Amino acid sequence: MEESKGLRLILFPMPLQGHINPMLELANVLHHKGFSITIIHTQFNSLNPTTHPHFIFHSIPIELSRTEASTNDVMAFILLLNVKCFEPFSECLARLLSDDDQEPVACLISDLLFSFTQHVAENLKLPRILLRTSAASSFVAYAAFPLLLEKGYLPIQARVLERPPVKVRDLPVLKTKDPQKYYEVVSGLKKAVEASCGIIFNTFEDLEGNSLATIRQELYTPIFPIGPLHKCYPANTSSSINLLSQDQTPQSFIYVSFGSIAAIKETLFLEIAWGLANSNQPFLWVVRPRLVHGSEWIEPLPSGVFETLNGRGQIVKWTPQKKNCWHIKPLECFGLTMVGTLHWRVFVRGFL
């Protein structure tokens, strides 16, 4: 590690695994550059401080019902987190800033989807930098939403002339009970970046040069494409799950995961199970406890469904993505988690 700079950075990740991992990877990079790292995290999907003993962790309480924590409406969940986190985060951040026994705080690094942190940071006169954990190209699409709304392209299924050759149906739109609210939130992302001191992208110039150039033309905010962050600290694969027998040497396998909060119906769960069984491909299926409505784990699976696999696949409750995915390339098939962050991380991994 480089000599300490005598400055502290406070990081605040969105409590979804595909957002937590890039933030921790960024924290490792910054710590290696000499910064002290303090991480504020929610008790929901809480982090384990013992895995990063060189960081200081502060947990903030948020109350979520089981229904709220397992919703399929991702946008509604993100909005709820912004409301629930506002008060405890504000109090925690103010307390950290007033601690004279610690190094001075240089800035706050917040997930882009935590929009409320702008107001908090401004009130505390603290510089704020954003982390975008997914692709720069998707941010370009989001930045176009205000214009698309103004011209009536959304939600009409028509060709978008301002971003050729993209069509409305190709834009990154989440299913939500309140589409109008979704458009408002996404339209506000560009303003959030413009109000910040900079934004970090988990990407690199050779991969997304055109999108990054577009962002630089449209924003005066400094952008830092310093990814792929996982390459800065490669995972130790010694504890990886051994998916394959000794005589299997494929270049890819199927990875299925539905992230930290999504819940699915039993019928869909069984369709996935039979699809994996009939795929004749090695696979790793992460089935989080209570992923299936009305079940604790994999009770809906009929007996014998995986008897003929001959060790070709595994079902686990949890697995570290870096240890079990990043060392096999490219990934041929994978489950999309939440809003596409894992999709992007796996996609980037395939180029390296």
Question: What is d(CA 175, CA 191) in angstroms, rounded to the nearest whole number?
Answer: 23
- Is pLDDT above 90 for 68? no
pLDDT in tens, 178-188: 878 888 888 88
Q: DSSP character for 51?
A: G
Question: What is d(CA 265, CA 268) in angstroms, rounded to the nearest whole number?
Answer: 6
What the block records as the tokens of 326 is 């990043």
* Three-point CA angle 291, 134, 276, nearest 5°: 40
285: β partners = 256, 315
The identity of residue 201, as a single letter, is F
pLDDT in tens, 3-36: 555 799 999 999 988 899 899 999 999 999 999 9
pLDDT number for residue 316: 87
Band (pLDDT 50/70/90 cuts) for residue 57 is very high
Question: What is d(CA 199, CA 225) in angstroms, rounded to the nearest whole number?
Answer: 8
CA–CA distances in Å: residue 320 to residues 24, 56, 186, 327:
13, 22, 30, 12
Band (pLDDT 50/70/90 cuts) for residue 330 is very low
pLDDT number for residue 83: 94
pLDDT in tens, 261-292: 777 889 999 999 888 888 888 888 889 888 88
pLDDT, averaged across the chain: 81
Question: What is d(CA 59, CA 46) in angstroms, rounded to the nearest whole number?
Answer: 8
Which single residue is written with the structure tokens 């490219």?
330
CA–CA distances in Å: residue 33 to residues 1, 51, 204:
6, 19, 19
Using an 8 Å Cβ cutoff, are 193 and 217 in contact? Answer: no
* CATH numbers and ranges of domains, the chain: 8-231 (3.40.50.2000), 237-349 (3.40.50.2000)
Question: What is d(CA 283, CA 333) in angstroms, rounded to the nearest whole number?
Answer: 9
Instruction: Count the helix, strand and coil residues of the chain and give each as a percent rounded to the nearest 5.
Output: 40, 15, 45
- Is pLDDT above 70 for 157? no
- Indicate yes or no: pTM above 0.95: no
CA–CA distances in Å: residue 201 to residues 31, 85, 135, 162:
18, 24, 7, 24
Contact partners, residue 240, CB within 8 Å, separation at least 6: 323, 324, 327
CA–CA distances in Å: residue 105 to residues 2, 55, 125:
18, 14, 11
**Residue 9 neighbours by CB distance under 10 Å:** 22
The identity of residue 89, as a single letter, is F
